Chains A and B, each alone.
Chain A
Amino acid sequence: MWHYNLELAVRGLRRFPRSTMLVLLTVALGLAACMTTLTLLHMLSADPLPGRSQNLYLAWVDTVLAKPMDSHSAAMELNHVTFDTGYHRIKLADAQALLAAHRAVRQTVVADMEADEISGDGRHAERQQLILATTSDFIPMFGVTLRYGRDWTPAEDANRTPVAVIDTDLATKLFGTPDAVGRDVRLKHTLFRVVGVIQPYAPQPSFYALDHGAYSSDGGENLYAPYTAALDAGLVPDDSDACDASYKASATQAANDPQHCATLGLWVQLDTPRQVAGYRAYLQGYVQQQTALAGFGKPPRSQLTGVADWLKQKNVVPDRVRLNVWLAGSFLLLCMVNVAGLLSARFLRRSGEVGIRRALGAPRRAVFQQHVLEAGLVCLVGGVLAWPLTLLGLWILRQQGDAFSGLARLDPAMFGALFGLALLVGVLVGLLPAWRVAVVEPGLQVKSE
């Protein structure tokens, strides 16, 4: 029966080639528009670290010795600088105290810094590279894969030892070989000994360093070093949330001195809800003990934010991407209504045929099945046609020049989703016309013939 119905459906498709082409094209356009935007959204809203991110939290205490910044006051607004602050960074002393307390399963500070990376022999140099100043916990905590050598140790953190872990790309560029363990990289005037080489690591979005853009097509940091040693080497964190009020006047050295400015992000790993609650209480307790804060009119504030919440809070997926999904989705809906109409016309044109089939004893179910099958087939073929169109759409997206547009590529999951969607659309679209033709009264049709 299935086979017979399939044959009828294929035959039906070939009956009116012009309207079939029209239906195919409409389906393909709708599907392609929808898949293009969905693919981008899927890429942008993916979990940056599947399996790990749900246990990672950004911890923040507000201990900047300055009046709270009131965004409503005219002075603030008129001095409005577009560097988005509020990345929940903390000052050096707090970072050290919170790290030393070891209240979480793992904890690490992160700060992006920029410097020239020069090979120990001075032969090769990579200018103005992004460096991540962090602690030994970063690599196990964020699931970074070591290729050669080792992670640095907590002791090396504490001793401010200039060691570094670099990725294979940088190793190849500087030393001509990925296995660069034991070589030296000069940052400013300090030689950092390479102890480990990792696979290039750039989770998208790069949730722990959002101030350099949430998405990057060319990877992020390529060198990781103990923050203590990095600060000793005279490297400076790129940005700060705010500085102590007293700091501005004495500004002669670095603009973002971590002693006085909130420049470090503190990430902790907490595995159970109890640990989360405990750490939250601990943070609040910590900030309440900061007596120096008195007189600045600040309530004691602390926050512990999970990765997903953090990405949502920072609006990492741009609104226009979601807006485009809605636009394309409604376009697909329009295409479906259109196709439903075209299919109804085509099916009802064959009412006579159906009448005869029914009169000869074909049950309604068979007629219905045949037509839903035909609709599904049309949409599946439309899905095949939509595939190159989707690739074209993604190519157009990549030309738009957004930082994230380079990520717009069709992965196997989305490829499967395309055909799933095509089939679903086909069946949904076919239901109404198929029902309409299935209720054709056999007697009447044959008589009117």
Chain B
Amino acid sequence: MRHIIKPLFRHRMMPLLVVLQVALACAIACNALFLLQQKLVPIVTPDGVGHPARLIVASRIVPRGAPWSTSRLYETEQALHAIPGVTSVSVAASLPMEDNVRVGGQVFGQGAGTKANAAVYIGDHLVDTLGLQLVAGRDFSAAEQATRYKNIGVSNSGPTIITQALARRLFPDGHVLGRVIRIGDIPDAGRRTVVGVVAHLMRNVMSQDDRSDIDYSMMFPGIPGHWAMPSFGVRVTHAAMAPAVLKAVKTTIQQALGSDIVVGIEPNYQRYAELRDAMLARPRAAVWLLSGVSLIVLLVTVVGVMGLTGYWVQQRMRQIGIRRALGAQRSHILHDVQLENLLVVGTGILLGMALAYAVNLWLMHHYELSRLPWTYLPYGALLMLLLGQLAVLSPALRAARVPPVVATRSV
């Protein structure tokens, strides 16, 4: 061991540069991969919507003047339902992947002492229209769907259907059906009894940092009252019918509400699959960018370590030759170089981990990023060690090939 450590201290510059390089690469890669993982969350999380090609979304429908009355919206819904090929229609305050308007806030699990920030989707027939998968309990009854709210419905009491993730968060003991959720912490807050649980339903907030709460959503039945920007969801029987139905939806809504739609804001009619693609375009671009950066960082590091070790080995050709002449085997030399690399890179990694954490703290402070999970550190360390060994392989093999005869001649 001494013959490995001692030369490192005698010629400090080379190992120091490797340490510095590895530390920097560690800090950058850890944080870049962390950012990458956060951008991946909305892309890889299931949104819960079944058959996205069969769902049509009409949004950004803004009335001129007062919001449309519930009965007017209900009539429009009926007209949409009459279009051939339509199986289900919802009028909702907001829909997934549609970020013009969103409703959400703190909700409390009554009796469980838990709380969560959750999205609230208010609308009728949402389970059918969105094609959600009910895993427990029941869908809202016809009577519940017919609810008409005076206000938008957030402070009203009634039934609710929540996602599995939210259920687990609010009621950790597993008993969910029949439990009560309090909406907000004001005294006259609405209280909602859980009647059903769906597998997934993504909230329509993309910038959510926390991985878990992207699936914290709840649904209230009935058409939101006095709501200035209703959205319509229309489900069709076959994806092939979607383009034709999309056109029909456009004309139907134009006929039913067009006379009162504000001038200047064009309603948006899209298939849900396209809406989703558009919404995920930015995180997807960021994922490409960050993975590219991470890859180049690692590549540059490998090349750097390789170059430095190559020189470092070449410089000691004569010593290696002497050791070989004195009876050291090729594998000894190989392992020595590898062990040396392990030591140097290891030091770099330790330093890099501390740096990664410091950088993360700094980013948290300035950019409202969440904390780097510690699990990143061992994975990062392992990756860097492997890369270090990969980088040292060719110089080490070259060192091992040094014939003992080198010792007898001058370089």
| Binary A-proximity of B240-272 (CB < 8 A = 1, otherwise 0) | 000000000000000000000011111000000
Interface status of B40 (Cβ within 8 A of chain A): no
User: How far is B307's CA from A22's CA once the two chains are assembled, in angstroms?
Assistant: 10
Q: Is B155 in contact with A75, judged by CB distance below 8 angstroms?
A: yes
Q: Nearest chain-B residue to A433 (Cβ)?
A: B13
Name A191-239 residues within 8 Å CB distance of B: 238
Interface status of A97 (Cβ within 8 A of chain B): no
Interface status of A114 (Cβ within 8 A of chain B): yes
User: How far is B310's CA from A349's CA once the two chains are assembled, in angstroms?
Assistant: 11
| Binary B-proximity of A390-420 (CB < 8 A = 1, otherwise 0) | 0000001001111000000000000000000
Residues of chain B with a CB closer than 8 A to A333's CB: 24
Q: Is B65 in contact with A254, judged by CB distance below 8 angstroms?
A: yes
Decide yes or no: A330 and B304 within 8 Å by CB, A74-B189, A340-B17 being known contacts: no
| Binary B-proximity of A104-133 (CB < 8 A = 1, otherwise 0) | 000000000011100000000000100000
Residues of chain B with a CB closer than 8 A to A323's CB: 35, 363, 367
User: How far is B299's CA from A335's CA once the two chains are assembled, in angstroms?
Assistant: 11
In the complex, identify which listed stretch (A78-86, A177-185, A281-289) lies at the interface while the others stay far away: A78-86
Closest Cβ–Cβ distance, residue A256 to chain B (whole Å): 10
Closest Cβ–Cβ distance, residue B117 to chain A (whole Å): 9
Decide yes or no: A341 and B303 within 8 Å by CB, A74-B105, A254-B65, A255-B262 being known contacts: no
Closest Cβ–Cβ distance, residue A348 to chain B (whole Å): 7
Chain A contact residues, majority secondary structure: helix
Decide yes or no: A73 and B186 within 8 Å by CB, A341-B14, A344-B13 being known contacts: yes
Q: Nearest chain-A residue to B152 (Cβ)?
A: A79
In the complex, identify which listed stretch (B43-51, B95-103, B123-131) lies at the interface while the others stay far away: B95-103
Q: Nearest chain-B residue to A19 (Cβ)?
A: B307
Interface status of A313 (Cβ within 8 A of chain B): no
In the complex, identify which listed stretch (B25-33, B69-77, B328-336, B372-380) lies at the interface while the others stay far away: B25-33
Residues of chain B with a CB closer than 8 A to A342's CB: 304, 307-308
Q: Is A77 in contact with B21, judged by CB distance below 8 angstroms?
A: no
Contact of B282 among A73, A255, A345, A400 (CB under 8 A): A400
Interface status of B316 (Cβ within 8 A of chain A): no
Residues of chain A with a CB closer than 8 A to B296's CB: 29, 33, 331
User: How far is B13's CA from A436's CA once the two chains are assembled, in angstroms?
Assistant: 9
Q: Is B14 in contact with A344, judged by CB distance below 8 angstroms?
A: yes
Contact of A334 among B13, B264, B285, B300 (CB under 8 A): B300
| Binary B-proximity of A146-159 (CB < 8 A = 1, otherwise 0) | 00000000000000
Contact of A77 among B65, B106, B314 (CB under 8 A): B106
Interface status of B53 (Cβ within 8 A of chain A): no
Contact of A78 among B184, B282, B303 (CB under 8 A): B184
Q: Is A74 in contact with B186, judged by CB distance below 8 angstroms?
A: yes
Interface status of B9 (Cβ within 8 A of chain A): no
Q: Is A116 in contact with B263, judged by CB distance below 8 angstroms?
A: yes
Q: Is B264 in contact with A115, judged by CB distance below 8 angstroms?
A: yes
Contact of A349 among B120, B293, B311, B367 (CB under 8 A): B311
Decide yes or no: A331 and B293 within 8 Å by CB, A80-B104, A341-B307, A400-B282 being known contacts: yes
User: How far is B11's CA from A237's CA once the two chains are assembled, in angstroms?
Assistant: 72
Residues of chain B with a CB closer than 8 A to A400's CB: 282, 285
Closest Cβ–Cβ distance, residue A356 to chain B (whole Å): 16
Q: Is A338 in contact with B21, judged by CB distance below 8 angstroms?
A: yes
User: How far is B160's CA from A11's CA once the two chains are assembled, in angstroms?
Assistant: 78
Residues of chain A with a CB closer than 8 A to B101's CB: 81-82
Contact of B154 among A73, A78, A340 (CB under 8 A): A78
User: How far is B312's CA from A436's CA once the two chains are assembled, in angstroms?
Assistant: 15
Closest Cβ–Cβ distance, residue A239 to chain B (whole Å): 11
Residues of chain B with a CB closer than 8 A to A344's CB: 13-14, 17, 308, 311
User: How far is B400's CA from A345's CA once the two chains are assembled, in angstroms?
Assistant: 20
Residues of chain B with a CB closer than 8 A to A349's CB: 311, 314
Contact of B300 among A29, A81, A255, A326 (CB under 8 A): A29
Q: Is A79 in contact with B24, judged by CB distance below 8 angstroms?
A: no
Closest Cβ–Cβ distance, residue B151 to chain A (whole Å): 9
Q: Is A74 in contact with B183, judged by CB distance below 8 angstroms?
A: yes
Residues of chain B with a CB closer than 8 A to A331's CB: 28, 293, 296-297
User: How far is B286's CA from A252's CA once the two chains are assembled, in angstroms?
Assistant: 45
Residues of chain A with a CB closer than 8 A to B185's CB: 74
Q: Is A338 in contact with B65, judged by CB distance below 8 angstroms?
A: no
Q: Is A330 in contact with B24, judged by CB distance below 8 angstroms?
A: yes
Interface status of B390 (Cβ within 8 A of chain A): no
User: How far is B13's CA from A354's CA once the two chains are assembled, in angstroms?
Assistant: 19
Residues of chain B with a CB closer than 8 A to A330's CB: 24, 27-28, 359
Interface status of B301 (Cβ within 8 A of chain A): yes
Residues of chain B with a CB closer than 8 A to A69's CB: none
Residues of chain B with a CB closer than 8 A to A128's CB: 263-264, 266
Residues of chain A with a CB closer than 8 A to B285's CB: 399-401
Q: Nearest chain-B residue to A30 (Cβ)?
A: B300
Interface status of B1 (Cβ within 8 A of chain A): no
| Binary A-proximity of B74-111 (CB < 8 A = 1, otherwise 0) | 00000000000000000000000001111111100000
Name A262-288 residues within 8 Å CB distance of B: none
Q: Is B281 in contact with A401, judged by CB distance below 8 angstroms?
A: yes
Residues of chain B with a CB closer than 8 A to A1's CB: none
Interface status of B138 (Cβ within 8 A of chain A): no
What are 14 A-to-B residue pairs whose CB atoms are below 8 Å?
Answer: A29-B300, A75-B154, A80-B103, A80-B104, A82-B102, A255-B64, A330-B24, A334-B24, A341-B307, A344-B311, A345-B310, A349-B314, A401-B285, A432-B13
